[in-house]
């Protein structure tokens, strides 16, 4: 889940990036309002799910950045600031912020609030949203071809038979199963399953694919696409070029 952090204090930012990263966010750090607005123009990448707007001292600026963001995008904004007075809170919220948190804040609460607005922001926004397709990131148990994937319980069953998977195996399958038929490139797989872009030199990916195939025991399910990556074969033939595949999270 991508998150845009707007923070001018390097040390605070570094700490936040570390914690947020550990909690599964892919954080982009903007040092100024200008940089933040640049980062928000659609560029084909996955859009940001939340903006953490933490402009400490140049107070007037923070509000303006918020309303500029709001003018161009529907992305949820959480203002984080030392200005605790009620008038500022009201002003910030009326400018379009989704939440307003004052320092000092509790890290756990901030995380909970981030999740709350991200959860809500996933719904179609009234304001002009530049990037139409948010990542599907399906909720309930995925199911296809007799394979049932329960993300909450981290369990997988094939035709009712429970199949224990290791961490990497599960993450790998969950990723591929997100959109059966779509080819996931090696780099993409590494960046999603292995945190932090690390290009595995060895045969790591192949080995994990191999053991996944063994455990699922469904020959032909996981298909290698030579020179590109892997994909899951959907139960139905696979949408040809004729009709458009509904969800396509794969980026180029």
Partner DNA sequence: AGCCGATCTGAGCGGAACTTGAGGATCACG
Partner DNA sequence: CGTGATCCTCAAGTTCCGCTCAGATCGGCT
- Interface residues with DNA (CB under 7 A) are 164, 166-169, 186, 194, 200-204, 206-210, 213, 224-229
Chain mean position to CA 231:
20
Q: Which of DNA, a second copy, none does residue 224 bind to, with CB < 5 to 8 Å depending on kind? A: DNA
Which residue among 45, 136, 166, 203 contacts a second copy (CB under 8 A)? 166
In whole angstroms, how close is the CB of 136 to a second copy at the nearest point? 13
- Cα angle value 135/24/203 (rounded, 5°): 85
Please, which residue, 65 or 212, has the CB nearer to DNA?
212
Q: In this structure, what token pair is assigned to residue 19? A: 């914690």
Total binding residues toward a second copy, as defined by CB under 8 A: 77
Q: Which of 14, 71, 82, 112 binds a second copy (CB under 8 A)?
A: 112
**CB neighbours of residue 75 within 10 Å:** 23
Residue the block writes with tokens 């932090």? 196
Check binding of 44 to a second copy (CB under 8 A).
Answer: no
Binding segment toward a second copy, per CB under 8 A, in 28-36, 46-54, 148-156, 208-216: 148-156
According to the binding rule CB under 8 A, does residue 12 interact with a second copy? Answer: no
- Min dist CB 226 to DNA, Å, is 4
Beta-strand runs (E) in 8-98 = 26-30, 50-54, 77-81
Helix (H) and strand (E) counts for the chain?
8, 12
CB 251 within 8 A of CB 189: no
Instruction: Please tell me the total number of residues recorded for the chain in this structure.
Output: 252
CB of 44 to DNA, least distance (A): 24
Q: Which of residues 63-82 bind a second copy (CB under 8 A)?
A: 74, 76
Contacts of 225 (CB under 8 A, 6+ apart): 183, 231
Per partner kind, with CB cut-offs from 5 to 8 A, the member of a second copy, DNA, none near residue 76 is a second copy
Give the contact letters, 172-211, x = binds to a second copy (CB under 8 A), - = no.
-------x-xxx---x--xx---xxxxx------------
β-pair partners for 101 = 80
Stretch that binds a second copy, among 35-43, 60-68, 125-133, 201-209 (CB under 8 A): 125-133
Q: Residue 11 or 167: which CB sits closer to DNA?
A: 167
- Residue pair 65/78 in contact by the 8 Å Cβ criterion: no
Which two tokens mark 200? 């595995």
Contact yes or no for 110/183 (Cβ under 8 A) = no
Q: How far is the CB of 250 from a second copy (least distance, A)?
A: 10
Give min distance, CB of 143 to DNA, in A.
23
Q: Is 228 in the site for a second copy (CB under 8 A)?
A: yes
State the sign of the Cα–Cα–Cα–Cα dihedral 26, 116, 124, 32. negative
């Amino acid at each position: 889940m991508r998150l845009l952090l707007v923070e001018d204090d390097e040390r605070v930012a570094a700490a936040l990036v570390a914690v947020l990263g550990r909690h599964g966010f892919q954080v982009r750090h903007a040092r100024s309002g200008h940089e933040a607005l640049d980062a928000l123009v659609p560029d084909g990448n996955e859009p940001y799910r939340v903006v953490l707007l933490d402009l400490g001292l140049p107070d007037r600026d923070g509000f303006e950045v918020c309303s500029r963001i709001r003018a161009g995008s529907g992305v949820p904004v959480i203002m984080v600031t030392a200005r605790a007075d009620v008038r500022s809170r009201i002003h910030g919220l009326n400018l379009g912020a989704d939440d307003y948190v004052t320092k000092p804040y509790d890290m756990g609460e901030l995380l909970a609030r981030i999740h709350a607005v991200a959860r809500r922001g996933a719904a179609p926004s009234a304001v002009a949203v530049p990037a139409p397709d948010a990542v599907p990131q399906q909720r309930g148990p995925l199911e296809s071809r007799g394979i049932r994937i329960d993300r909450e319980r981290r369990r997988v069953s094939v035709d009712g038979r429970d199949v224990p998977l290791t961490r990497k195996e599960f993450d790998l399958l969950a990723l591929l199963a997100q959109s059966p038929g779509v080819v996931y490139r090696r780099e993409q797989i590494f960046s999603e399953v292995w945190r932090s872009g690390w290009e595995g030199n060895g045969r790591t990916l192949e080995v994990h694919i191999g053991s996944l195939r063994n455990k699922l025991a469904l020959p032909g399910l996981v298909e290698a696409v030579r020179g590109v990556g892997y994909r899951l074969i959907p139960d139905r033939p696979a949408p040809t070029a004729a009709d458009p595949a509904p969800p396509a999270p794969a980026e180029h």
